[in-house]
Amino acid sequence: MARTLFDKIWDAHVVDRMEDGTCVLYIDRHLVHEVTSPQAFEGLRTAGRKVRRVENTIAVVDHNVPTDADRLKGINEPESKLQIETLEHNVAEFGVPYFPISDARQGIVHVIGPEQGISLPGMTIVCGDSHTSTHGALGALAFGIGTSEVEHVLATQTLLQKPAKNMLVRVDGTLPQGCTGKDIVLAVIGKIGTAGGTGHVIEFAGEAIRALDMAGRLTVCNMSIEAGARAGLIAPDEVTFAYIKGRPLAPQGADFDKAVAYWKTLPSDEGAVYDKVVVLDAAQITPQVTWGTNPEAVMPITGTVPNPADEPDEAKRAQMARMLSYMALEPGQKLAGTKVDVVFIGSCTNSRIEDLRAAAHVARGRHVADGVRALVVPGSGLVKKQAEDEGIAQILIEAGFEWREAGCSMCLGMNPDKLTPGQRCASTSNRNFEGRQGPGGRTHLLSPAMAAAAAVTGVLTDVRELV
Amino acid sequence: MDKFTRLTAIAAPLNVANVDTDKIIPARFLKTIKRTGLGKSLFADMRYNEDGTEKPDFVLNQEKYRKAEILVAGDNFGCGSSREHAPWALLDFGIRCVIAPSFADIFFNNSFKNGILPIVLPPEQVAKLMDDAALGTNARLTVDLACQMVVRPNGEEIPFDVDPFRKYCLLNGLDDIGLTLAHESAIATYEAKIPAWQPKLR
Ligand code: SF4
């Protein structure tokens, strides 16, 4: 029978199947960070269990770490410090490989996995973090788990799971100038909604997806969770293999060739059946910006803020009104021209070298507008170094952007980089929930180029007018 | 994990769709290294003013719902992050069961692992229970997991579906890890077949 990419990876990892269809699923890579692991290690300790396969496990600190240049001198915030120290204690006790903040390889867990060659096609990859879906861009089945499951994987290297349903999102045609993977995925979420993928694994396919570089693909899969999906997937191809080749923890030499031979068997078979299919035309996509407090409240930058009065459904109307009041936007107002206070370029969605290049391309020869604070936070220490070597950092610094150390930073209000109440932020991250970037903060999600455009003009701007 | 068998309790109505995990427990409260103590921060931004005083309108701040053990909620409850702090916060407050027309996957999964029963019912049924919940202490709901039945205060029984394996674990308070370790030999056999080209991280 013709199988999908998801079916193939799933079948290859079933260790045992129970009567009711629940599977014991083997996990190839377990990424661990400081926020969702302390209670899991504690559970192991209490039960007298070990980490079953330290060689499948890797740990890093990202959510809590400050991103200022002085951070190696010590972390001030006592609770953050405790979480980081707890992880360091746990990795030492259980023998788990670890990248501390003093290591150039430290960064956001979903940036370093692909960057180091830890995440490979055909693998099952989990992490106690919903954006684990990111790694699906390499053709791996990657999904977020809760802390009980983190403990379960540490102890058994498996999870108890039932297969998800298959969904295909096909993006045909060619993406217009000025649009990116971020605009594709925001447009997809706008179309299918934040629950559109619930219970499914989304495979992204089609000409426009094939044409994306690995960074663009990682961005697309990163936000499949915002479409409600369990995971996102893109079939591995020559772009994938070229990206992986030579990465420190990827197979090398003859092993690499063996791996590629296997990876080439993974793409969905001709005639494979999907439970749901959605088709988009890339040519119709324009730069996207969110206007509300969930990612499906998104529209083209050329759009105007919708009017709740036009919404027939009462619950939706109330929700829309609440979103507009939280975001301080008026129905009918043009999105372009809305003043921003802060610009954040970073997060596991958009902090790779390609993202920073795109931002620098817009910022070159311009300056951050008066009264705007603009942060650039590379996804890893290595991205930071590369950007410095390429001269991108210099362009951004000269344009008035803050150039910071790697971490989750302002993507979520857990470290010192936060919005203050009422501040409006153009952000390349993935969530615009109320208070996500700090209590009372207002988030507009957009691409790195669009964020840079907002930074230099001080307002939400159609980047196509600048490049 | 505590068993879940049968529960008769006050239900709190939270008729809001897309209650995300940042609403259930904002990120700033995730800095704990424990599973307990999060109940006071449950729904923090909906529940408290900036100065820390309670917002009297919020359902769980109303006297009649302070001891609620069931939550009746809107569509897509628990969307957002994978934080298990969301079910921990609900549990620490005392909520053992959430009833909604739909849930986000990870939250749904995490609930079972912490002894919370999430129940999916059609919107019409949820609407009825929402009305019941609005009656506060005068109207308790009964949730019977063995019979897979929600019983309304007027005696009407509403059947619900639950995955048989999850039901079994919840009824018996079973820890998944112990169950999985019974498959040890299958896991070892699988590991012996992992191709040699697959790199080790250590
Ligand atoms: S960058 Fe943001 S979304 Fe990504 S792992 Fe960090 S906090 Fe989560």
Q: What is the interface pTM, i.e. ipTM, of the complex? A: 0.94
Q: How far apart are CA A154 and CA A37, in angstroms?
A: 10
Query: Which residues are A426's β-sheet partners?
Result: A343, A444
CB-based contact A247:A121 (threshold 8 Å) = no
Contact: B31, A83; criterion CB under 8 Å: yes
Contact B32 A79 (CB under 8 A): yes
SS (H, E, C) B125-137: HHHHHHHHHHCHH
| Ligand 1 site, residue A352, Cβ cutoff 6 A | no
> Looking at A263-403, which runs of residues are DSSP E strands?
276-281, 288-290, 298-300, 342-345, 373-376, 402-403
Which pair of tokens denotes residue A26?
Answer: 């083997």
Tokens for A359?
């931002």
* Whether residue B173 has pLDDT greater than 90: no
Contact A32/A61 with Cβ under 8 angstroms?
A: no
Q: Which of B136, B139, B147, B142 is nearest to B171 (CA)?
A: B147
Look at B106 and A144 and tell me if their CB atoms are within 8 Å: yes
Residue labelled with tokens 């969930």: A294
Rounded to 5, what percent of chain B is helix, strand, coil? 40, 20, 45
Residue nearest to atom 6 of ligand 1 (CA): A408
Listed by number, the residues of chain A in 113-132 with a beta carbon closer than 8 Å to a beta carbon of chain B are 117-118, 120, 128-130, 132
Using an 8 Å CB-CB cutoff, list chain B residues near A152.
176-177, 180
| A63 pocket-lining for ligand 1 (C-beta < 6 Å) | yes
Cross-chain residue pair B190–A156, CB shorter than 8 Å: no
Nearest beta carbon to residue A228 from set B30, B79, B164: B79
Does A347 contact ligand 1 (Cβ within 6 A)? yes
Residues of B in contact with A55 (CB under 8 A): 200-202
Separation of A11 CA from ligand 1 center, angstroms? 30
Of the candidates A364, A390, A395, A398, which has an alpha carbon nearest to the alpha carbon of residue A467?
A364
B163 chain-A contacts, CB cut-off 8 A: 20, 162
Q: Which amino acid is at A279?
A: V
Residue A195: which of B30, B31, B102 has the nearest Cβ? Answer: B102
CA distance B99 to B113: 17
> Taking a C-beta distance cutoff of 8 angstroms, is the pair B90, B60 a contact?
no
Pairing of strands B140-144, B70-73: unpaired
Contact A315 B191 (CB under 8 A): no
CATH of domain B6-174: 3.20.19.10
Judge whether residue B137 has pLDDT over 90. Answer: no
Going by pLDDT thresholds of 50, 70 and 90, the confidence category of residue B174 is: confident
Question: Which residue type is seen at A88?
Answer: E
Nearest CA in chain B to A78: B31
**pLDDT tens, per residue, chain A with 467 residues:** 999 999 999 999 999 998 889 999 999 999 999 999 999 999 999 889 999 999 999 999 999 999 999 999 999 999 999 999 999 999 999 999 999 999 999 999 999 999 999 999 999 999 999 999 999 999 999 999 999 999 999 999 999 999 999 999 999 999 999 999 999 999 999 999 999 999 999 999 999 999 999 999 999 999 999 999 999 999 999 999 999 999 999 999 999 999 999 999 999 999 999 999 999 999 999 999 999 999 999 999 999 999 999 999 988 999 999 999 999 999 999 999 999 999 999 999 999 999 999 999 999 999 999 999 999 999 999 999 999 999 999 999 999 999 999 999 999 988 999 999 999 999 999 999 999 999 999 999 999 999 999 999 999 999 999 98
The answer to whether the Cβ–Cβ distance between B32 and A251 falls below 8 Å is no
Of all protein residues, whose CA lies closest to atom 2 belonging to ligand 1?
A411
- Inter-residue contact A348 to A109 (CB < 8 Å): yes
H-type helices in A305-429, by residue range? 314-327, 353-363, 381-390, 392-398
A241 alpha carbon – ligand 1 mean position (Å):
26
Name residues 303-362 of chain A within 8 A of B (Cβ). Answer: 315, 319
Judge whether A427 is closer than 8 Å to chain B, CB to CB.
Answer: no
